[in-house]
A = this chain, B = another copy of it.
Amino acid sequence: MAEPATQPLSGDPAARVLVAGASGYTGALAAEIVWHHPRLELVAATSRSDAGRALTDLYPRYRAQIELTELDLDRLDGIDAAIVAYPHGAAAPTDAALRAAGALVVDLSADFRLRDAETYERWYGEHGAPELFGTGVYGLTELYREELREAKLVATPGCYPTASVLGLAPLAEKGLVAEVSISAMQGTSGYGRKNDDLVHFSSMTENAFPYKTEGHRHRPEIEQELAALGSPAPVAFVPHLLPLDQGEMATCFAKLAEPLDRDAVQALYRERYAGEPFVRVLDGPPNLRALRDTNECHVYVTVEEHGGAIAFGAIDNIWKGASGQGVQNLNLMLGLDETEGLK
């Protein structure tokens, strides 16, 4: 069986795309999505540690026929757009070089998510390209769609902020979220490809646990976005790691600024997300299997006995929580239909 040596493009590509950092989970998926995208041409997928290996050698379930190469920032001619899947801190200088070469940049790291420099430094340390700080558009598509159409540099949100903020947005936009406690959980792909005892199959099977209980850097990001929507609410946040690969759930206990009954809250959600191509408002709680390998976000909301709202946002953490949303935004930046290559 011969894989096609070239991508299945339909007509001239809308952009020639580079994926930087394609040996990790999110970079590899970004390369895989771009390869199958009918309007994007994958011109390079780079990796320092795995240069020379085929992507399908690292990820046998992917089908993109491309060999990983080392990134050469001096040879960016002909790159229209780049998806950068580097660690926090390392991404910003690469983004800067790519922008300088004229490429549109979709950054999957945290480097441009936060808009307050002090908060960034507290959680991530010194910024790698201070001159660009604050110039990225926050890539939570459903909230920043119009800005994204014009964007040159996009900060793809963290996976937990994506699930949490989409789960709370209809309330937050109305100023209704007074406080929120978020219990989130995700599979081991969210931990990354780094190998240590924690994610060895023998450690993780039949296990589950909270982590970063003294402070996770996605918390200030969630607070930033709830405030931007109109609800400057304090957020308590605890993530958990689960014995599954892809999938993430944010269970959000929200104190409401004013009393609302279940029907009213559910109507608000249905109305807010009507017509959204990737957000599905469910009639009951979501489950993770239903959205594995999709760019969807499933949302459900209810009101509990004592009047608090409980909102659930569920995603595939490496799709809508990272690479899928990255491509969704790149589509917008290029004037394409935002669902292209993602269904």
Contact = CB atoms under 8 A, between A and B. Distances in A.
Given A199-B200, A281-B1, A219 B275 contact: no
Interface string A217-248: 00100000000000000111110101111110
A237 to B, nearest CB: 8
Interface stretch (A68-76, A132-140, A153-161, A186-194): A186-194
- Which are the 10 A-B pairs with shortest beta-carbon distances? A183-B183, A195-B195, A60-B290, A209-B287, A181-B253, A1-B280, A207-B289, A188-B201, A201-B204, A234-B306
Given A206-B246, A246-B206, A215 B305 contact: yes
Given A188-B201, A200-B188, A279-B1, A206 B310 contact: no
A21 to B, nearest CB: 16
Instruction: Determine the interface band of chain A, counting residues with CB < 8 A from chain B.
Output: 35 or more
17 contacts: A60-B287, A185-B208, A187-B206, A188-B200, A195-B195, A200-B201, A201-B245, A206-B289, A207-B287, A207-B289, A208-B247, A208-B288, A209-B249, A209-B287, A210-B312, A213-B302, A243-B243
Contacts of A275: 2
Given A202-B188, A202-B245, A236 B277 contact: no
A177 to B, nearest CB: 14
A49 to B, nearest CB: 12
Contacts of A245: 201-202, 205-206
Contacts of A195: 195-197, 199-200
Given A58-B197, A253-B236, A277 B247 contact: no
Interface of A: 1-2, 25, 58, 60-61, 181, 183, 185, 187-189, 193, 195-197, 199-211, 213-215, 219, 234-238, 240, 242-247, 249, 251, 253, 273-281, 284-293, 296, 300, 302, 304-306, 308, 310, 312
B207 A244 contact: yes
Contacts of A60: 287, 289-290
Given A204-B201, A209-B287, A243 B244 contact: yes
Contacts of A292: 61, 206
